Amino acid sequence: MREVSEAPGGRARGRGFTMTELVVVIALVGLIAAIIGPRFVGRDTFASRAFFDEATQIVRYAQKISVAWRRPVFVCVTPAAISAGLAAGCPAPLIHPGTGAPLAVSAPGGVTLAGASFSFTAPTPTQAGGQPSTGAQVVITLNSTIAGDPARAIVIERETGYVH
Protein backbone atom coordinates (compact mmCIF):
# COMPACT_ATOMS: atom_id res chain seq x y z
CA MET A 1 0.00 0.00 0.00
CA ARG A 2 1.30 3.38 -0.94
CA GLU A 3 1.83 5.95 1.72
CA VAL A 4 0.72 9.47 0.91
CA SER A 5 1.92 12.58 2.68
CA GLU A 6 1.17 16.23 2.31
CA ALA A 7 3.87 18.19 0.58
CA PRO A 8 4.28 21.89 1.22
CA GLY A 9 1.72 23.73 -0.84
CA GLY A 10 -1.03 21.13 -0.30
CA ARG A 11 0.02 18.57 -2.92
CA ALA A 12 0.00 14.90 -2.14
CA ARG A 13 3.43 13.21 -2.47
CA GLY A 14 3.75 9.43 -2.87
CA ARG A 15 6.52 7.30 -1.44
CA GLY A 16 7.55 4.11 -3.24
CA PHE A 17 7.87 2.98 -6.82
CA THR A 18 5.56 3.68 -9.68
CA MET A 19 4.14 0.84 -11.73
CA THR A 20 6.33 1.90 -14.67
CA GLU A 21 9.51 1.66 -12.59
CA LEU A 22 8.57 -1.80 -11.34
CA VAL A 23 7.82 -3.09 -14.85
CA VAL A 24 11.14 -1.74 -16.19
CA VAL A 25 13.13 -3.34 -13.34
CA ILE A 26 11.36 -6.70 -13.77
CA ALA A 27 11.98 -6.59 -17.53
CA LEU A 28 15.69 -5.84 -17.02
CA VAL A 29 16.10 -8.63 -14.45
CA GLY A 30 14.36 -11.06 -16.82
CA LEU A 31 16.60 -10.04 -19.71
CA ILE A 32 19.76 -10.44 -17.64
CA ALA A 33 18.59 -13.84 -16.36
CA ALA A 34 17.87 -15.01 -19.91
CA ILE A 35 21.34 -14.05 -21.11
CA ILE A 36 23.49 -15.01 -18.13
CA GLY A 37 21.47 -17.86 -16.63
CA PRO A 38 22.46 -20.59 -19.09
CA ARG A 39 26.15 -19.97 -18.39
CA PHE A 40 25.61 -20.98 -14.78
CA VAL A 41 23.42 -23.98 -15.55
CA GLY A 42 25.56 -25.55 -18.30
CA ARG A 43 28.92 -26.58 -16.89
CA ASP A 44 30.23 -28.30 -20.01
CA THR A 45 32.52 -25.39 -20.92
CA PHE A 46 33.96 -25.40 -17.41
CA ALA A 47 34.59 -29.17 -17.63
CA SER A 48 36.30 -28.65 -20.98
CA ARG A 49 38.60 -25.96 -19.57
CA ALA A 50 39.38 -28.10 -16.52
CA PHE A 51 40.31 -31.00 -18.82
CA PHE A 52 42.60 -28.73 -20.84
CA ASP A 53 44.34 -27.55 -17.65
CA GLU A 54 44.76 -31.13 -16.35
CA ALA A 55 46.08 -32.37 -19.70
CA THR A 56 48.60 -29.51 -19.83
CA GLN A 57 49.77 -30.35 -16.30
CA ILE A 58 50.26 -34.02 -17.22
CA VAL A 59 52.47 -33.06 -20.16
CA ARG A 60 54.46 -30.60 -18.00
CA TYR A 61 54.92 -33.20 -15.28
CA ALA A 62 56.11 -35.77 -17.83
CA GLN A 63 58.71 -33.30 -19.13
CA LYS A 64 59.97 -32.57 -15.60
CA ILE A 65 60.14 -36.26 -14.68
CA SER A 66 62.15 -36.96 -17.85
CA VAL A 67 64.76 -34.42 -16.81
CA ALA A 68 64.75 -35.32 -13.11
CA TRP A 69 64.91 -39.10 -13.60
CA ARG A 70 67.26 -38.79 -16.60
CA ARG A 71 65.20 -41.17 -18.73
CA PRO A 72 62.59 -40.98 -21.50
CA VAL A 73 58.99 -40.40 -20.45
CA PHE A 74 56.16 -41.09 -22.88
CA VAL A 75 53.02 -39.02 -23.38
CA CYS A 76 50.20 -41.08 -24.86
CA VAL A 77 47.44 -39.23 -26.70
CA THR A 78 44.18 -40.87 -27.79
CA PRO A 79 41.02 -39.13 -28.99
CA ALA A 80 39.48 -39.58 -25.53
CA ALA A 81 42.38 -39.35 -23.04
CA ILE A 82 45.95 -38.33 -22.32
CA SER A 83 48.40 -40.10 -20.01
CA ALA A 84 52.11 -40.30 -19.20
CA GLY A 85 54.19 -43.42 -18.64
CA LEU A 86 57.68 -44.90 -18.74
CA ALA A 87 57.06 -47.19 -21.75
CA ALA A 88 55.71 -46.63 -25.26
CA GLY A 89 51.93 -46.88 -25.32
CA CYS A 90 51.78 -46.05 -21.60
CA PRO A 91 50.75 -49.56 -20.47
CA ALA A 92 51.39 -48.44 -16.89
CA PRO A 93 50.90 -44.69 -16.44
CA LEU A 94 53.05 -42.70 -14.07
CA ILE A 95 51.55 -42.25 -10.61
CA HIS A 96 50.29 -38.86 -9.46
CA PRO A 97 52.54 -37.83 -6.55
CA GLY A 98 49.71 -36.30 -4.50
CA THR A 99 46.88 -38.78 -4.96
CA GLY A 100 48.60 -42.03 -5.90
CA ALA A 101 46.24 -42.37 -8.88
CA PRO A 102 47.44 -42.99 -12.44
CA LEU A 103 48.62 -39.82 -14.18
CA ALA A 104 45.92 -39.81 -16.84
CA VAL A 105 42.78 -37.82 -17.62
CA SER A 106 39.80 -38.61 -19.82
CA ALA A 107 38.11 -36.02 -22.00
CA PRO A 108 34.61 -34.91 -21.02
CA GLY A 109 31.71 -35.36 -23.43
CA GLY A 110 31.99 -33.19 -26.52
CA VAL A 111 35.80 -32.87 -26.35
CA THR A 112 38.29 -34.86 -28.43
CA LEU A 113 42.07 -34.82 -28.68
CA ALA A 114 44.09 -34.74 -31.88
CA GLY A 115 47.82 -35.32 -31.90
CA ALA A 116 50.40 -38.07 -31.91
CA SER A 117 51.91 -39.76 -28.88
CA PHE A 118 55.55 -38.87 -28.25
CA SER A 119 58.26 -39.03 -25.60
CA PHE A 120 60.52 -36.56 -23.88
CA THR A 121 64.21 -37.33 -24.34
CA ALA A 122 66.54 -38.24 -21.52
CA PRO A 123 69.44 -35.88 -20.82
CA THR A 124 72.70 -36.64 -22.63
CA PRO A 125 76.20 -35.16 -22.19
CA THR A 126 75.43 -32.69 -25.00
CA GLN A 127 71.75 -31.91 -24.32
CA ALA A 128 69.80 -31.00 -21.22
CA GLY A 129 66.99 -33.41 -22.11
CA GLY A 130 63.28 -32.92 -21.83
CA GLN A 131 62.81 -32.10 -25.53
CA PRO A 132 60.19 -33.94 -27.59
CA SER A 133 61.71 -36.96 -29.30
CA THR A 134 60.01 -36.04 -32.58
CA GLY A 135 62.64 -33.38 -33.28
CA ALA A 136 59.84 -30.93 -34.04
CA GLN A 137 57.36 -28.82 -32.17
CA VAL A 138 54.49 -30.99 -30.87
CA VAL A 139 50.91 -29.72 -30.87
CA ILE A 140 48.05 -31.52 -29.14
CA THR A 141 44.72 -30.01 -30.18
CA LEU A 142 41.57 -30.19 -28.07
CA ASN A 143 38.50 -29.90 -30.28
CA SER A 144 35.14 -29.16 -28.71
CA THR A 145 31.58 -29.50 -29.98
CA ILE A 146 30.27 -27.64 -26.91
CA ALA A 147 28.58 -24.36 -27.82
CA GLY A 148 30.76 -21.36 -27.02
CA ASP A 149 33.80 -23.50 -26.19
CA PRO A 150 36.86 -22.71 -28.34
CA ALA A 151 39.40 -25.20 -29.63
CA ARG A 152 42.56 -25.21 -27.52
CA ALA A 153 46.09 -26.49 -28.09
CA ILE A 154 48.93 -27.73 -25.92
CA VAL A 155 52.24 -26.80 -27.56
CA ILE A 156 55.61 -28.39 -26.69
CA GLU A 157 58.58 -26.46 -28.08
CA ARG A 158 61.18 -28.44 -30.01
CA GLU A 159 64.33 -26.82 -28.62
CA THR A 160 63.48 -26.69 -24.92
CA GLY A 161 60.50 -28.94 -24.25
CA TYR A 162 58.65 -25.93 -22.85
CA VAL A 163 54.96 -26.79 -22.49
CA HIS A 164 52.34 -24.08 -22.97
pLDDT in tens, 39-81: 666 678 889 999 999 999 999 999 999 999 999 999 999 999 9
The pLDDT value recorded for residue 3 is 59
Give the pLDDT score at 130: 87
pLDDT at 98: 87
| Per-residue pLDDT tens over the stretch 88-105 | 999 988 998 888 999 999
Q: Is the pLDDT of residue 6 over 70?
A: no
Q: Which of 51, 50, 72, 53 is nearest to 63 (CA)?
A: 72
How many Cα atoms are found within 13 Å in the side-chain-facing hemisphere of 94? 26
What is the reported pLDDT for 153? 96
Rounded to the nearest angstrom, the gap between the alpha carbon of residue 86 and the centroid of all alpha carbons in its chain is 26
pLDDT at 2 over 60: no
Q: Which amino acid is at 31?
A: L
Whether the per-residue pLDDT at 11 is higher than 70: the answer is no
Q: Would you give the distance in Å from CA 10 to the centre of its chain?
A: 65
pLDDT at 5 over 60: no
- In the chain, what are the domain boundaries? 3-41, 44-156
At residue 16, the pLDDT reads 86
Mean pLDDT for the stretch of residues 135-162: 92
Whole-number average pLDDT of the chain: 88
- By DSSP bridging, strand 104-106 and strand 152-156 are unpaired
Percent of the residues in the chain that have a pLDDT greater than 90, as a whole number: 63
44-156 placed in CATH 1.10.10.60: no
Average pLDDT of the segment spanning 17-28: 94
Helix H or strand E encompassing 54: helix 44-69
